[in-house]
Chain A
Amino acid sequence: MPRTVDLFLDSDQPLGRVAEQLGELSSARFVSSPDQAHFVVRDGDVIAYLTDHDFLDDDDLPLSEFRYVLSASVPRGTSIEDSSELSFLRRINAELRRSGAFPSLLVIDLERPDAAPVDAR
């Protein structure tokens, strides 16, 4: 039961263009799957997948307002708060906020928004 960190982001651009823009922002390389259905990015041991999603809105998580999600699974036995996955997605989220490229929402295990303020990341 790996826990996940999900960075939801919205854009009217197609997935490939969003992957390009995220790559420019994060200086990471987003690689397309053969069927172009998702992109994968690696940062050290962290592996995250960019794709569209069909999750439902839940209380303070308006997930349907965001077309895409960049998801990373935290290895079992690792604290999610101390994980490289959360650090990586917080970094990208901070870059998104700074650049104003896309609206974004960082969510922990599909249960709660990330509590850390963007400026503190």
Chain B
Amino acid sequence: MKGRPQARLPLQPAAGGRAPHPPEGPSAGGPGPGPGLPWSCRHHGVAGTFDEAERRASHDELAVARALAAEGHQVRTVAERNGARTPDLMACGTAVEVKGYQSLAQRGGHPPTARSVANKLLDARGQGAVAVVRGGESGLTRATAQAGYAMFCERALEKGLGRVRAVRVVGKDFDISWAAAADVRQSRQARQGVRPASQPRRLLPPGLSGPVVPRLSL
């Protein structure tokens, strides 16, 4: 970690040109920041900053902070308070909780399961409006992330979302965002037999079951 530049890094948009804050709506799928993320800010392609002055970021936090800053956000680490659950980052005023994984080798060659993804998200409920799971070198796959998110929503349907409003899972070759609050709300309405007038019922992706109707941004 030594030698890492500290405090207020101006960051350029990621190479490859993902447009920050794509338009909202059912057609706004695809990789990267999705329709469900709670930021109302618009940065129009201007790179944000990353401020590490309050606390040094971990490896996973740094990777997520850089990605958010590249999308235009003003990102900073949050200092720990003894005994209190605090978010890892603040990005344009929104609390972000980062969950990471050990590497595939450290995991004994077993990549994370969908249930593991769900547990990470369940654990994030007390901390941030946006929960970001970073697969890193764990071997986490897109399909596992999707199934894990569906399991999380099923659980949240019964037990609540806590502070989480949106979920993002980033792996080696994917980056998916979901509107967790909207998905759980829709699922609850579906369970109660209420169909929102403007939102047609969606089918579950193959392999998923249960009442959850995740709005996948793929």
Contacts and interface: CB of A to CB of B under 8 A. Distances in A.
A1 B116 CA distance: 16
Nearest to B100: A1
B115 A56 contact: yes
B24 interface: no
Contact of B110 (A47, A57, A59, A109): A59
A76 B58 contact: yes
Nearest to A42: B83
A77 B113 contact: no
Contact of B123 (A57, A58, A110, A112): A110
Interface residues of A, number: 22
Contacts of B151: 56
Contact of A110 (B58, B119, B159): B119
B195 interface: no
B101 interface: yes
A1 B77 CA distance: 10
A99 B196 CA distance: 55
Interface of A is mostly: loop
Contacts of B83: 40, 42, 47
B118 to A, nearest CB: 5
A103 interface: no
Contacts of A55: 119, 122-123
Nearest to B132: A1
Contacts of A73: 85
B107 A111 contact: yes
B185 interface: no
B153 interface: no
A37 to B, nearest CB: 12
B55 interface: yes
A16 interface: no
B119 A56 contact: yes
A42 B99 CA distance: 25
Contacts of B119: 55-56, 58, 63, 110
A82 to B, nearest CB: 16
A57 B115 contact: yes
Interface of A: 1-2, 4, 40, 42, 45, 47, 54-59, 63, 73, 75-77, 109-112
Across the A-B interface, the 8 shortest Cβ-Cβ residue pairs: A58-B115, A47-B83, A56-B115, A1-B98, A54-B159, A55-B119, A58-B116, A110-B119
